[in-house]
Amino acid sequence: MSDDPALMHGHAIAAAVRDRRTSATAAVTAALARIARVDGTVNAFTDVVAERALARAGSIDAAIARGEPQGPLAGVPFAVKNLIDVAGLPTRAGSKINRARPPAARDGATLRRMEAAGAILVGALNMGEYAYDFTGENVHDGATRNPHDLGHMSGGSSGGSGGAVGAGLVPIALGSDTNGSIRVPSAFCGCFGLKPTYGRLTRAGSFPFVGSLDHLGPMARSVTDLALAYDAMQGPDPEDAATTARAPEPATPGLDDGIADLRIAVAGGYFATGGDPEAFAAVAAIAGALKVTRRVEIPEAARARAAAYLITAAEGAALHLDRLRTRADDFDPAVRDRLIAGAMIPAPWVGGAQRFRRWYRAAVAELFADVDVILAPSTPCRAPTSGQTHFVLDGVTLPVRANIGVFTQPISFIGLPVVAVPVRVDDGLPLGVQVIAAPWREGSALRVARHLEREGIVSAPAADL
Band (pLDDT 50/70/90 cuts) for residue 313 is: very high
**Res 299: pLDDT:** 97
pLDDT at 2: 52
Mean of all residue pLDDT scores within the chain: 97
| Alpha carbon separation from 419 to 110, 174, 433 (Å, rounded) | 18, 14, 8
Q: Is the dihedral of CA 431, 435, 436, 440 positive or negative?
A: negative
Per-residue confidence band for 280, with pLDDT thresholds at 50, 70 and 90:
very high
pLDDT band, very low/low/confident/very high, at 427 (cuts 50, 70, 90): confident
- Asked if pLDDT for residue 230 goes beyond 80, the answer is yes
- Is residue 3 over pLDDT 80? no
pLDDT, residue 1, reads 44
> What is the mean predicted confidence (pLDDT) over 124-130?
98
Tens digit of each residue's pLDDT (9 = 90 or more) over 235-279? 999 999 999 999 999 999 999 999 999 999 999 999 999 999 999
pLDDT of res. 6: 81
Residue range 363-370: average pLDDT?
97
Percent of the chain at pLDDT > 70 equals: 99
pLDDT tens by residue, 188-228: 999 999 999 999 999 999 999 999 999 999 999 999 999 99
Q: In this predicted model, what pLDDT tens digit does every residue of 133-167 receive, in sequence order?
A: 999 999 999 999 999 999 999 999 999 999 999 99
Pairing of strands 172-177, 390-393: unpaired
- Residue-wise pLDDT for 24-72, tens only, equals 999 999 999 999 999 999 999 999 999 999 999 999 999 999 999 999 9
Give the residue numbers marked as catalytic: 81, 157, 181
336 has a pLDDT exceeding 50: yes
Using alpha carbons, select from 29, 25, 175, 213 the residue that is nearest to residue 94: 175
Provide mean pLDDT across the span 348-375.
98
